[in-house]
Each structure stands twice: as structure tokens, then as C-alpha cells.
Structure 1
């Protein structure tokens, strides 16, 4: 049975799921329906803004630092050098039900020098397009056990993120030989992924 987490809540992944190795991290969101203006707007209803959100992963060492660009997994670098983290590709609009982007994580293959995975989402070209997360709704992150394809946990981001162009969504981290998950849900007004990564450099 899937567990619904609240912001700041932590949960042990491997203690409660012995033998857990391969997981799928799914992230999803929907564009907010815009109210159309003018005469025709009343006839044809609202439209959805095309907001291109990108999910990425920062692979951090024990000092919460990114050692190299290879440890940033995103649409331009889909697979970590060790092969333990693989991004399944970019979704340009966020339309449709279910996960918009998926990231495969093999916990058993993560190198010992990596202590934490930080999952972030940012809006591509947010400044140029004058877009922010107030234009997004129903955002979530969920974790699925690949072995039995069952959802283990879900965190719905229900806060108001208007004016924010990046989100630190969640973390998977080592703790006393176990892997744990924390629901973060913090907004960032930085311009893009590069600026967000500077927090860990």
C-alpha cells in the first residue's frame, strides 16, 4: 500500500522493504487551465499554457557537493556514468495523465562516494517565457518498486509556488547503511538548472 507523505516527512526505504534495489521515480504535473479572454474565449473555453518542466537529479557526496557535471542527470545527460541513475527522457508539455517524466534508480548500484540524490524540477526558459510554478498544478513525486511494480510512496506538492521557477522536490539519502526518502517541496526563484546546482558546488 502506497504511503502519502507530507512536506518534511521522512521514511526508510530499505528497512521496510528488504532487498529493495531498483526503483522508478515518477514526477508529474499539469498546466493550469487559463481563462480565455474576449468573445471567442467564452465560446471555446480555456486553454492550457505550454509549460516545459524538466526533472533532474543531483548526485551528491557525503559533504552535499556535486563533484562533477557527470553527477547531474537531466535531459542533456540521461544516464549516470555508473549506470545507477537513468532519466527516461524529456516531456515538453506536461499534458496527459500519470508520470510526465520518469527516472530509474538502482539503489544497489549507486557508488559508495554518493550519499544523496536530490530530485529537482525546473521550468525550461522560464525567464524568457515569463513562466513560473503558479502556472502548474497537481505536481507530485512517487516511488515505485520495479520488482513488483507497486507504488511505495507519493508526495503531492500542494503549496503555492507562484513566482518560483525551480522546485527541490525530494531526496533519497544514505543513513546508517539504509536508504531513506524525505519529502522536501521547496521552491526556488533561480533562473534554471545551472543556478540550482550552484547550491551544491
Structure 2
């Protein structure tokens, strides 16, 4: 049975091949289509990107160590059943200099389209066992993010040789460039 996480809660992953699914739905009548983009930041010392190639998103779908694969961008606005975007991870392949994998979702062209997470509902991040397709843990973003345009959903991090997952839920009124500046070495 899957663990339902609360903000700040941590859980041992205990698997090597997982997928991180992210999902959302725009509120009815919000106008233009929503294009939310998931990204994975592979961080090392000082919580900084190991290199530019360790920023995984729709234009860079694979990490240099082949441990992280972004399965594609859902530009339909999250109207699908299930995960809207998925990131596949083989934790055994993650290079030793990566201590954390941070998952961020931003709204593409949020300022131009006058969109924010207050217009999005049913947002979540979940960890799934690739072998059995069983959901291990899920964090549903139930906070009211009325002005935020980018959210750190959660993070995988290495502690004493084991991988753990923490539900973050940290919102910013910023787009992807802000997070790149924040975590760039």
C-alpha cells in the first residue's frame, strides 16, 4: 500500500528502478491551455548542479550517467488520466557526485499567459516501482498556491548510502530561469 506523504515528510525509497510521476489539472474556465513542465536537477556539493548536462527537462531528456530519463513533455495542460509527465530513474546508475535529485514543475510562459498554480488543481508527485508498477509514495499538493508559477515538488536524496524521498511543496513566483540560477554552480 502506498504511503500518503505530508509536506516535509520523508520516506526510504528502498528500490533501485523507480519512476517519478507528476500530475495536475487546470481549473475549468481558466482560458488558455496550461503547459506545465517537469524538470529534474541533479545536485552535488552545496546543492548545486553537477553540470549543465545534469539538468534534465524537455530539451535534455537523459543524464550523462544514463540514470535519469525524462519521458516527454505533456503540452496539453494536464487533462490526461494519471501522470502527466514521468521521469524514470535507475538509482544504481546515479553517479557518486550526485547527492540529490530535485523535482520542479513550472508553468511555461506563466507571465505572458497570466497563469499560476492557483488555477491548477489535483497536483501531485508520486514514486512508482518500475518493476511492479506499484505506487510506493504519493504527495498531493493540497496547499493554496495562488500566485506561484514554479514549485519544488520533492526531492530524492542520498543519506548513508540509501536513497530517501522528501515531499517539499515549496512555491515561488518565478519561472524556470530562477531555479536554474539558484542551483547552477
TM-score after normalising by structure 2: 0.96
Matched, 1:53 2:36: yes
Instruction: Name stretches of at least 5 consecutive residues in structure 2 with no aligned partner.
Output: none
How many angstroms does 1:67 deviate by? 2.9
Q: How does 1:4-19 map to 2 (within 5 A)?
A: 4-14=4-14
Rounded to whole Å, the distance in 1 between the matches of 2:20 and 2:81 is 16
Kept after mapping to 1: 8 A contact 2:118/2:148: yes
Matched, 1:128 2:112: yes
Instruction: Name stretches of at least 5 consecutive residues in structure 1 with no aligned partner.
Output: 15-19, 35-46
Bigger radius of gyration: 1
Matched, 1:27 2:22: yes
Runs of 4+ in 1 over 3 A off after TM superposition: none
The 3-state SS of whatever aligns with 1:144 is strand
In the alignment of these two chains, the number of paired residues is: 183
The 3-state SS of whatever aligns with 1:33 is coil
Q: In structure 1, what is the equivalent of residue 87 of structure 2?
A: 103
How many angstroms does 1:48 deviate by? 5.9
Q: How does 1:60-99 map to 2 (within 5 A)?
A: 60-92=43-75, 93-99=77-83
* 1:1-35 residue CA offsets vs partner (Å, 9 max, x unmatched): 10000000011112xxxxx211011000001012x
How many angstroms does 1:185 deviate by? 0.4
* 1:71-96 residue CA offsets vs partner (Å, 9 max, x unmatched): 11000101111110000000012112
